[in-house]
Structure 1
Amino acid sequence: MSAYQRLTINIFDKGDEAAEVQPKLKPVELIAAILAEFGDDLPYLSLNPSGYHLLRGNGTPLIDDTPIGSQLGSETRVVLAERIPQIPPQATALPAPLYLREPKSGKVFPLHWSPALIGRSDSNLPDEALLAVNLNGLPHSERVSRRHARITYQGGKYVFECLADNPVVLRTAGGEIPLTGNRRHQIQPNDMIVLEFSQIQLHVLQRNG
């Protein structure tokens, strides 16, 4: 008798992937292995397994710290899904998440609401709940304004607005666009947002499903 359990795991744009896992493996451990294996193919995947869960066929999540074998029984298919955070009361949920990836660290910031702020955390500010991209801890993040930029979803488009005097450059397929002083511009997947003083770069990504 095999010591492994055969599963089909649906992994976003990769679709269904076959896997053999030990029944004693916990969902959080399997998620960590999935992220490590498919992170290069799916750059919008975070490195943090706590941002995901595994769903049964009926849509209910597996318990993170309970072995998979004792939860699935005869089921053989699960779906990797993002945990959707609570939407701040002053925001609206996006129809599909947008992702900003910092290439050097590989850190991924999912955006689930609009407006979404980019900057550094400050609990004394009234709009702290809207901070979706907290750049604290990245190299030279002290050069990032607490409220550096804002992304809003308007008429089916994602619009980037610089809120700080610190210069921002948007690198697009059509060239570089300087953005300062509340100037706005539409952003699209594969654009690169460059915060010039800190040289932090944020790659704009979106998944299909």
Structure 2
Amino acid sequence: MSLNLRQKQTECIARMLNLNQPINASSTTANEEVYKILIYDRFCQNILSPLIHVKDLRKHGVTLYFLIDKDRNPVHDVPAVYFVQPTPNNINRILSDAYRSLYHSFHLNFSTSIPRPLLENLASGTLASDSIQRISKVHDQHLEFITLEDNLFSLADKSCFVQLNDPSAGDREIEGIVEKVVNGLFCVLATLAVVPIIRCPRGS
């Protein structure tokens, strides 16, 4: 069986744009009657750019798309699909958008697993602002990597090699880098839906 990472990631993104509902296999398009807005951060914009073009967004019912850190006007009668990294800044911006009722409903998609403290902040913040009813779904997409070719990807960490080989780097910094790399590789495997076979010499 041939594994095409680019195709797999594109399929995951298409399903996300279809509000995480299955797409008609015969047309490979979303329900065109459900118009929506796409909100993303810089990192997720880089994930989308090699895979999805403007015409593809239109095909999946996306009529408008914005960066999350830009000022946006309310569009009360349409759902919004968020595709962002699970960071404190992004959570705070989502809470602000929900409080201001910018969109009819919020479909939150995180590029990787959202840490429990941030998830609790999201829940408590929407409860406090009485906007929790606008949060329709929360999904961990495990897409935190950039596919450049069919089977070529990047974790998009330009300073990783330098940091790992920096003599002054402390254990905490090294562990943070390794954890980020492991998380990125896990996202690749989860997207491919495969379990790796790891081989190493005995005693190593």
Name the TM-score class by shorter chain: under 0.3
RCO higher in structure (CA 8 A, sep ≥6): 2
Q: By percentage of residues, which structure has more strand?
A: 1
Q: By percentage of residues, which structure has more helix?
A: 2
Q: TM-score, normalised by structure 1?
A: 0.27
